[in-house]
Structure 1
Amino acid sequence: MTDLQDIADVGRDRRRGGYSRHGFDKVELELRAWFAEEARRRGLDVRPDRNGNLWAWWGKPGPGAVITGSHLDSVPGGGAFDGPLGVVSALQAVDLLRARGFTPSKPLAIVVFVEEEGGRFGVACLGSRLMTGAIAPEVAAKLTDADGVTFGEAAHASGFDPLRMGRDDRALGSIGAFVELHVEQGRGLDVPVGLASSILAHGRWRYTFTGEGNHAGATLIEDRRDPMLPAAQMVLAARRAATSGARATVGRLVPNPGGTNVIPSSVDVWLDARADDEPRTREVVDRITSAARAAAEDEGCAVRVTEESWGGTVHFDPGLMADIRGALGSDTPDLPTGAGHDAGILAAHVPTAMLFVRNPTGISHAPDEFAESDDCAAGVVALATTLEHLAR
């Protein structure tokens, strides 16, 4: 836990609690510098790629490399473990392998992906999406944060050329296997470490309700076209649509102009929807959208729906999972996850797997996210054993 404690004061959010660390902001850049220093202290060769991801190599980069890592950014007011645990565990796994006297026969590297949570620019797994070509660089460059700064501007200010971003076949071609360690984001493990079997299909949609801004005191109820009403009904529709294991969540709602005594002229609502497969997820979103349009029409308003990101169901590589289970023991459990990860983006291109460290409370994306020290240590041992097996 020592390395996690080293960064425990970086990015604390005094208003929300927890941490707010976002791609290419001051806090995340400080964490990237911390990682580079820790990696170099271990004799690793740190190299950024053209999409803003950081790679720390043990051995000369080349094909068939064994890669591990995660991310250092967070959701607004997130916990201490989501992302950093995977990075810290990778550094400590290198320490453990060296203590065992192991030298990899294959290239081995730790990667830190940029903007995995999408907390600043709205699209999750942005670094891995750019690297794999899942998002066009010209689209990514125009993504805007709450202050109007584009991803392209933030990347340029951090030393990266947005015109050179995009699918990186050289980096993809070097990966023989990718294993991401992560704190479990539910409560599905009754042992310290498990394997991920799949990721639910999921996406994010933005609903923009428009009406007529006006005075809260001087405008009669019957004269109003208030977009907050259909926005509120859309939130309730999301809960009603989330049945049979589906998830639908509204975690962000922004009225414009946002005054207490002002009827808003528009309201933006962001929906996160997830289910076992694409048809089920799309069905949930269609039900919510139909309800939103009906509510908007009733209030004399309009609504525009924009899909901001999408990821289909991911099944992790069965051969790689079998290899890892052979190294860790046949009793290592596996479980699906409703959370998205960079590993899920890479899975369409390279053999990919995930290790989960038990979360006793099941809380994640919140300040109370937690994992026991002994379970984190077990995660480091499991990751080191996996890397040793794969990199022989």
Structure 2
Amino acid sequence: MSSSIAGVADFERMWRDLAPVGRSASSGGYFRQPWHSAELELRAWFRETATARGLEVEEDPFGNLVAWWGPETLGSGTDRVLTGSHLDSVLDGGAYDGPLGVVSSFAAVDLMRSRGVEPTRRLGIAAFVEEEGSRFGRACLGSRLAVGATSWSEARELADRDGVRLGDVVEGAGDGAASTMLDGVATYVELHVEQGRGLVDLDAPVGVHSGIWPHGRYRYDIAGRADHAGTTRMEDRADPMLTYAMTALAANKQARLSGQRATFGRIDVRPNGTNAVPSHVTAWLDARAESDDALAALVAAVEKQAVDRAGRDGTTVEVTPESVTGEVAFDAALRDSLVARLGGVPVLPTQAGHDAGILQDAGIPTAMLFVRNPSGVSHSPYESAETADCLAGVEALADALTGLVAP
């Protein structure tokens, strides 16, 4: 694949337009949480970019966006093709996770048009909302709502760290109603920056994902007794921070021993005073494994060690799964056809969750392309991608979509 893209809209210009939106001056990372100012600015950019290309923009009741190429009557109505990704970020995240897929989708349509492609099926560019779960705590929330995997009656009660309910910031679909945005979508192809070093090791700019490891988020509520940090003897304490600390170390050890992934990345301490033994610690475990059985074993092992330690510390532990996604295998026929069309690019699994996994689980044949990340770092300001590799990704996406909408 050549990284020279003639006739396509200026990819670098689109990327420059997005670069300052939501960027922290101190860390260089991005804060693009759903329905806050930066993410709203990106949504406006999406609409303007689509309108400038004559694409029809649709928004469902949950805030998901799709820009459609071609009239509604194009094709059979049940053979639509969807591409895209998301625009939100984790807290202090990288520039590429999500937006690269959206920008590349617009650039791919530009490239297809410059090649004279006349689609026989309607093609949509999606921007799913709250993919990261960084505001309302549920990963891939927009796509889950779009396919009906999560009900609005449940989702509207989700609250952010300030206590704001999702139902207070977005209208939703009403009781019993659902999104119709994905009606007729027969195929979904998502492009994403790689969140690891697989392509670096293989010296390849673009690859295809075979599937997604099962993963989940688990809330640990550890209760103890508040006390004075100076006057309370160590042996008289019921300190939930000790239980948490041992649990975090146990998670690391269990994941290392089994070759899986376990991370405590968020913690809330009450009363959060320097000179007080805490009364309560809430911590969130992100666990991922190569199979559903391996994930269940990992989570069970960490919980057992937490409960055992709590018995010694005089504390209690309650574990609540907040979201769990099983193993996802992307559509094999679609994957193989993309690999052949792209000249035999590498095929690798991913340990990261994506909207693509939600759509595949909902019965929509799905594939994922990914672009080399030279640092291998993601969910961080150090996430990166070279322009030449991004352009190779655009060309690969355009080739893949052309085979689907103009066979």
TM-based fold match above 0.5: yes
Residue 258 of structure 2: SS of its match in structure 1?
Answer: coil
- Do the aligned partners of residues 165 and 46 (structure 1) sit closer, same or farther apart at CA in structure 2, a change above 3 Å counting? farther
Among residues 11, 20, 40, which one is paired with 1:29 in the alignment? Answer: 40
- Do the aligned partners of residues 91 and 139 (structure 1) sit closer, same or farther apart at CA in structure 2, a change above 3 Å counting? same
Residue 142 of structure 1: SS of its match in structure 2?
Answer: coil
Among residues 41, 46, 53, which one is paired with 2:57 in the alignment? Answer: 46
Partner of 1:221: 234
Residue 384 of structure 1: SS of its match in structure 2?
Answer: helix
Q: Measure how far apart 1:17 and its partner are.
A: 3.8
Name the CA distance, whole Å, in 2 between partners of 1:217 and 1:384: 65
CA contact (8 A) 2:153 2:175 kept: no
Among residues 112, 115, 124, which one is paired with 2:127 in the alignment? Answer: 112
1:263 aligns with 2:277: yes
1:183 aligns with 2:197: no
Q: Measure how far apart 1:325 and its partner are.
A: 2.0
Name the CA distance, whole Å, in 2 between partners of 1:111 and 1:375: 22
Partner of 2:18: 7
Amino acid at match of 1:111: A
Alignment of 1:228-243 (within 5 A): 228-242=241-255, 243=257
Amino acid at match of 2:54: G
Percent identity between the two aligned chains = 52
CA contact (8 A) 2:189 2:368 kept: yes
Name the CA distance, whole Å, in 2 between partners of 1:205 and 1:244: 19
1:171 aligns with 2:181: yes
Name the CA distance, whole Å, in 2 between partners of 1:303 and 1:151: 28
CA contact (8 A) 1:113 1:342 kept: yes
Partner of 1:207: 220
Partner of 1:339: 352
Amino acid at match of 2:399: T
Residue 171 of structure 1: SS of its match in structure 2?
Answer: coil
CA contact (8 A) 1:152 1:162 kept: no
Among residues 306, 311, 323, which one is paired with 1:292 in the alignment? Answer: 306
Partner of 1:60: 71
Residue 390 of structure 1: SS of its match in structure 2?
Answer: helix
Task: Report the TM-score when normalising by structure 1.
Answer: 0.96
Name the CA distance, whole Å, in 1 between partners of 2:403 and 2:129: 28
Query: Unpaired segments of 5 or more residues in structure 1?
Result: none
Query: Unpaired segments of 5 or more residues in structure 2?
Result: 1-11
Name the CA distance, whole Å, in 2 between partners of 1:37 and 1:240: 49
Partner of 1:150: 165
Query: What is the RMSD of the two structures over their aligned residues, measured on CA atoms?
Result: 1.4
CA contact (8 A) 2:58 2:181 kept: no
Q: Measure how far apart 1:139 and its partner are.
A: 1.6
Residue 146 of structure 1: SS of its match in structure 2?
Answer: coil
Residue 360 of structure 1: SS of its match in structure 2?
Answer: coil
CA contact (8 A) 1:73 1:83 kept: yes
Q: Measure how far apart 1:150 and its partner are.
A: 1.2
Amino acid at match of 2:196: G
Task: Report the TM-score when normalising by structure 2.
Answer: 0.92
Partner of 2:172: 161
CA contact (8 A) 2:122 2:405 kept: yes
Name the CA distance, whole Å, in 2 between partners of 1:296 and 1:142: 31
Amino acid at match of 1:120: R
Number of aligned residue pairs: 386
Name the CA distance, whole Å, in 2 between partners of 1:23 and 1:74: 8
Amino acid at match of 1:341: H
Q: Measure how far apart 1:16 and its partner are.
A: 4.8
Q: Measure how far apart 1:93 and its partner are.
A: 0.7
CA contact (8 A) 2:156 2:172 kept: no
Name the CA distance, whole Å, in 2 between partners of 1:280 and 1:48: 38
Amino acid at match of 1:261: N
- Do the aligned partners of residues 17 and 269 (structure 1) sit closer, same or farther apart at CA in structure 2, a change above 3 Å counting? farther
**Structure 1, residues 84-132: CA drift from partner, whole Å, max 9, x if none?**
0000000111111111111211000100000000011111000011112
Partner of 1:372: 386
Partner of 1:274: 288
Among residues 307, 321, 329, which one is paired with 2:335 in the alignment? Answer: 321
